[in-house]
């Protein structure tokens, strides 16, 4: 099984599979909760505001007294071996404004900015498929940030493909959009991007 995150494109290419993948620089920001009761788990859900100016965030769960909020960025990474760069100040300024104007009981001054990477397919969907020439090799990439939320599904799909014979679509949750062949054009979807 090959599930190598931002290095997936490199490994897939070395295995003779050409699937366009783009690695982007992302960042999540921790903000102090001035009214922590509003943001505790059980009262506050994971929230996502789609569309232009969208953002997403989490209740107080990872770090006591802080919530985690982010906007997706379009900063492409050429080499995933390079250390993550500094925070994207334009995105951070936009996020600080969103927190100040849309979230109650949160200090809009960041306590911490953490950078990370997304690996994205052209259609921003997952990859969970067998190698076209070697059925005993499974290629997997949850992809695109939202993949983390589906890690149980993508892990189950990859495990099933690795341990059972038969066509990929024999798994009830497998979809053609998880195949290695992705839509032509290689453009990233723009639904929630600016």
Residue 15 pLDDT: 93
Residue 169: φ, ψ to 5°: -75, 5
Tell me whether residue 73 is in a domain.
yes
Query: Average pLDDT in the 179-185 region?
Result: 65
Domain C-terminal end among 117, 137, 168? 117
Instruction: Give 83's Cβ-side CA count (13 Å radius).
Output: 3
Would the pLDDT of 98 be above 90? yes
Q: What share of the chain is helix, strand, coil (3-state, %, to 5)?
A: 25, 25, 45
Statement to judge: residues 35 and 96 lie in one domain: yes
Q: Which residue has the tokens 């290689």?
A: 186
Here the CATH number for the domain that contains residue 113 is: 3.30.9.10
Is the pLDDT score of 185 beyond 60? no
Question: What's this model's pTM, rounded to 2 decimal places?
Answer: 0.76
pLDDT band at 116 (very low <50, low <70, confident <90, very high): confident
pLDDT of 11 over the 90 cut: yes
The number of distinct structural domains making up the chain is: 2
> In the structure encoding, which two tokens stand for residue 27, read together?
């960042």
Backbone angles phi, psi at 150, to 5 degrees: -110, 20
Does residue 144 share a domain with residue 82? no
Give the C-alpha separation, 44 to 128, whole Å. Answer: 32
> 91 and 155 in one domain?
no
Confidence (pLDDT) at 174: 83
Q: Write out the residue range of the structural domain in which residue 94 sits.
A: 25-117
pLDDT score, position 31: 98
pLDDT in tens, 21-49: 889 888 999 999 999 999 999 999 999 88
Q: Is residue 191 part of a domain?
A: no
Q: How many CA atoms lie within 13 A of 55 on its CB side?
A: 23
Count of H-run helices and E-run strands, the chain: 3, 8
pLDDT tens digit string along 42-97? 999 999 888 767 899 999 999 999 999 998 888 888 899 988 878 888 999 999 99
Provide the pLDDT for residue 40.
Answer: 95
CA atoms within 13 A on the CB side of 161: 29
């Amino acid at each position: 099984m090959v599930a190598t995150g931002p290095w997936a494109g490199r490994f897939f290419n070395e295995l003779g599979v050409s699937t366009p993948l783009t690695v982007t620089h992302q960042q999540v920001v921790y903000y102090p909760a001035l009214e922590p009761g509003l943001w505790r788990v059980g009262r506050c859900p994971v929230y996502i505001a789609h569309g232009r100016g969208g953002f997403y965030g989490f209740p107080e769960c990872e770090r006591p007294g802080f919530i985690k909020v982010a906007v997706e960025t379009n900063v492409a990474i050429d080499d995933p071996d390079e250390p993550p760069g500094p925070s994207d100040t334009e995105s951070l300024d936009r996020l600080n404004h969103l927190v100040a104007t849309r979230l109650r009981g949160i200090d809009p001054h960041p306590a911490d900015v953490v950078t990370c990477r997304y690996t994205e397919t052209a259609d921003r969907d997952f990859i969970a498929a067998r190698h076209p020439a070697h059925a005993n090799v499974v290629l997997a990439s949850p992809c695109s940030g939202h993949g983390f939320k589906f890690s149980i599904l993508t892990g189950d799909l990859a495990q099933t493909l690795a341990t059972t014979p038969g066509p990929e679509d024999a798994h009830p949750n497998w979809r053609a959009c998880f195949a290695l062949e992705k839509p032509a054009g290689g453009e990233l979807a723009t639904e929630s991007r600016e």
